[in-house]
């Protein structure tokens, strides 16, 4: 068994415990697409010539691109954590060796933020609801318990 030293027990940023799934950045993207709608893509004329822009990729008069496509980029996932929590009732937990909003992203329920008065049965009900939601969103994944980046697994 692994022993841990120097952990401050009441600091949520130095340890973590989650029930949920570990999501890849691709999965996060498609989750954000379904929560926020797809990223916006805009198309602007590449030059000022008076031509039919849908006939070719490049302008026959000046040689510039007929259309310039710009795809909006999303901010860091942390910017949307609250929206995911509100709309899906799932928590976004990002943890990378104590650093928040970094590589390790989990979707589910943090096991460190239970209200004090909640009973074990109520906790199990919440975890069941969380699991049901995750099955719908990620049918090919299975929720599990993760601790401190999964090392204790």
Counting residues that bind Zn ion (by CB under 5 A) gives: 5
Question: Using CB under 5 A, which of 32, 35, 47, 135 touches Zn ion?
Answer: 47
Nearest to 31 by CA among 113, 136, 129, 101: 136
Task: With beta carbons less than 8 A apart as the criterion, state whether 18 and 93 touch.
Answer: yes
Give the Cα separation of 72 and 35 in Å (integer).
16
Within 60-79, the residues that bind Zn ion by CB under 5 A are 61-62
Within 98-127, the residues that bind Zn ion by CB under 5 A are none
Q: Which lies closer to Zn ion via its Cβ, residue 53 or residue 141? A: 53
Q: Which lies closer to Zn ion via its Cβ, residue 61 or residue 132? A: 61
End-to-end CA distance of the chain: 11
Phi, psi of 122 (to 5 degrees): -65, -40
Task: Name the strand (E) or helix (H) holding 71.
Answer: strand 67-71
Q: How many residues does the chain have?
A: 153
Question: Using CB under 5 A, which of 49, 101, 126, 127 touches Zn ion?
Answer: 49
Looking at 35-43, 48-56, 104-112, 125-133, which segment touches Zn ion (CB under 5 A)? 48-56
Question: Using CB under 5 A, which of 21, 23, 31, 59 touches Zn ion?
Answer: 59
Q: Which lies closer to Zn ion via its Cβ, residue 45 or residue 150? A: 45
Which residues of this chain interact with Zn ion, rule CB under 5 A? 47, 49, 59, 61-62
């Amino acid at each position: 068994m692994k022993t841990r030293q120097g952990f401050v027990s009441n600091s949520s940023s130095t340890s973590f415990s989650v029930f949920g799934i570990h999501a890849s950045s691709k999965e996060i993207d498609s989750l954000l697409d379904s929560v926020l709608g797809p990223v916006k893509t805009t198309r602007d004329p590449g030059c000022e010539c008076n031509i039919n822009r849908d006939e070719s990729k490049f302008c026959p008069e000046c040689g510039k691109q007929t259309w310039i496509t710009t795809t909006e980029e999303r901010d860091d996932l942390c910017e949307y954590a609250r929206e995911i929590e509100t709309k899906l009732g799932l928590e976004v937990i990002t943890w990378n060796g104590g650093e928040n909003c970094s590589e390790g992203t989990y979707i589910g329920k943090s096991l460190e933020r239970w209200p004090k008065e909640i009973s074990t049965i109520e906790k199990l009900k919440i975890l069941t609801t969380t699991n049901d939601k995750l099955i719908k969103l990620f049918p090919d994944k299975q929720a599990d318990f993760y601790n401190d980046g999964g090392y204790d697994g």
